[in-house]
Amino acid sequence: MRRTLFIYLLIGVTVFALVFALSTRLSAQNNQHIMEAEKELQALFDTINISIDDNERVVWGNNFSEKLLRALTLDGSFDYPFSLLPNLSKVTSSDERVRIYTWNIPLHSGMNKFYGIVQLHPATSDSLIVIDLTDQFELISHPTLEILPPEKWYGAIYYQAIRQETLHGQVFYTLLGWRGENMLMTSRLIDILTISPSGGILFGKMVFCDYDENRPVRIIFHYNANVTMSLRYEEQGMVTSKKWNSRRKEFTYTTENAWLIVCDRLVPSNPEMEGQFEYYLPAGDVMDGFLFKEGCWKFIKEIDARNPDEK
């Protein structure tokens, strides 16, 4: 009996060792393939950068996108750093279920060609879902009001992805991004990514509860291309109340730490330029923000934000 158990145990250990060795070998082969693809992609980026013809740059850019799309179907690509491609923005959600790759090709005309790929790692499967994004911003009549499929993407470079849930438990991802419009105007945006049970994706969702009466599905800030606007998701010590101290002749503040999307207030450089966004600049001394509460992003005008240790 003991001998039989020993034989079964030996067989089990042997099978496990063989499976582990095979898995390790396959993983190493996949990593080798990804590394080779990365070197090819790096060479393509170099070719794009030295090209002086816009049509040629777009052709090479499309070629880069196709090669990256194939590389992202390989096992191990979800965690691969792609460190040889510094111009490729790689944003991973906190739950490690979504990774978004975005990049742009500046054209000599002053415009930009944007590219993107969404990589999904479902919780119920080890297989990856890879979705190509097609920038079609010129076909989007109402960019703040339209929910968009991946083939009609409002192109941008994403740099933060925030996982949130509605009151009904639906998970969505808030994306902060940048878009260079032209030589005169630049944009920052807050977009929303939702994923269906089947792995389909959409951009835009009505979760900005009180931003304006139109109930936008994404927020877009347009401003002068020669300045910089701040748009970050960060922890702030937000003032919740202030009380006048008659003895000290000053206000005493009470703060509460909270995670907010904080942004510069944009204003026209001249009142006569109202609505001409290429003349909009950060106010400098006023910050607005969005606080996630009760399943949606609530707009906070004129945030009194300060370091958490300030009193």
pLDDT at residue number 102: 98
Residues 216/208, Cβ–Cβ less than 8 Å: yes
Would you give the DSSP letter of residue 34?
H
Per-residue pLDDT band at 279 (split at 50, 70, 90):
very high
pLDDT at residue number 100: 98
Whole-angstrom distance, CA of residue 153 vs CA of residue 149: 6
Residues 198/238, Cβ–Cβ less than 8 Å: no
Q: Tell the residue number behind the tokens 């479902």, with chain if given.
A: 122
Closest CA relative to residue 291, chosen from 264, 256, 259? 259
- 108-117, 249-258, 286-295, range with the lowest pLDDT: 249-258
pTM, two decimals, is: 0.85
Residues 200/194, Cβ–Cβ less than 8 Å: no
Q: Is residue 124's pLDDT more than 90?
A: no
pLDDT at residue number 122: 80
Whole-angstrom distance, CA of residue 156 vs CA of residue 135: 8
Whole-angstrom distance, CA of residue 107 vs CA of residue 270: 30
Q: Is residue 67's pLDDT more than 70?
A: yes
pLDDT (mean) for 230-251: 83
Whole-angstrom distance, CA of residue 82 vs CA of residue 68: 10
Per-residue pLDDT band at 286 (split at 50, 70, 90):
confident
Closest CA relative to residue 289, chosen from 298, 281, 280? 298
**2-56 pLDDT, tens digit each:** 566 555 555 554 544 443 433 444 445 558 889 999 999 999 999 998 998 999 9
Whole-angstrom distance, CA of residue 116 vs CA of residue 139: 17
Which residue spans within the chain are E strands per DSSP?
89-92, 98-106, 112-120, 129-134, 157-165, 171-180, 185-195, 201-203, 219-224, 231-245, 250-268, 280-293, 296-300, 305-306
Residue 253: phi, psi to the nearest 5?
A: -105, 145
Whole-angstrom distance, CA of residue 142 vs CA of residue 34: 39
Whole-angstrom distance, CA of residue 226 vs CA of residue 181: 12
Task: Rank 124-128, 150-154, 194-198 by mean pLDDT and report only the highest.
Answer: 150-154
Q: Which residues of 190-222 are buried (b: 16+ CB within 10 A; e: fewer)?
A: bbbbbbeeeeebbbbbebbeebeeeebbbbbbb
Residue 187: phi, psi to the nearest 5?
A: -135, 150
Per-residue pLDDT band at 127 (split at 50, 70, 90):
confident
Average pLDDT over all residues of the chain: 87
Q: Is residue 257's pLDDT more than 70?
A: yes
* Helices 54-71 + 2-50 axis angle, to 10: 180
Task: Retrieve residue 151's tokens.
Answer: 């083939």
**194-240 pLDDT, tens digit each:** 999 889 999 999 999 989 888 999 999 999 999 999 999 998 877 77
pLDDT at residue number 20: 41
Percent of the chain with pLDDT over 70: 87
Per-residue pLDDT band at 280 (split at 50, 70, 90):
very high
